[in-house]
């Protein structure tokens, strides 16, 4: 899963910086209590619109190669933490392909 190397810089720390930004935007909620959940905790529910909003805020912070590395890292981590895999997919769709990531998870007309 090498976060360092060919992409120059530490992809792990960039991905964690992105997740901290999502936590500040309350992109995840806990269905058990009102406490801020950990992204990988049981019963953590993603807010796709807030995730997309955070991606928009971070869009110009990294190069395209760095975004590819972040997406790959998060997709690889998706086996252990499905929410990280979801973020990886949303990065691929919105930042790398220029499509609307929100449409991956939210049906048209349901918002």
Residue 5 has pLDDT above 50, yes or no: no
Q: What average pLDDT does the segment 52-67 reach? A: 93
Tokens of 99: 């499509």
18-43 per-position pLDDT tens digit: 999 998 998 888 877 777 777 777 77
For residues 87 and 19, is the Cβ–Cβ distance under 8 A?
yes
pTM assigned to the model: 0.80
Residue 74 has pLDDT above 60, yes or no: yes
Report pLDDT for 57: 92
Angle separating helix axes 64-77 and 11-24, nearest 10 degrees: 80
């Amino acid at each position: 899963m090498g976060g360092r190397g060919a992409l120059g810089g530490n992809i792990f720390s960039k991905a964690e910086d992105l997740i901290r930004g999502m936590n500040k935007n309350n992109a995840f909620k806990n269905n058990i209590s009102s406490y801020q959940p950990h992204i990988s905790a049981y019963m953590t529910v993603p807010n796709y619109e807030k995730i997309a909003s955070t991606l928009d805020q971070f869009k110009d912070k990294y190069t395209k190669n760095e975004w590819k590395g972040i997406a790959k890292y998060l997709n690889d981590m998706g086996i252990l933490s499905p929410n990280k895999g979801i973020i990886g997919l949303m990065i691929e769709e919105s930042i790398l392909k220029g499509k609307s990531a929100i449409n991956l998870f939210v049906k048209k007309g349901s918002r």
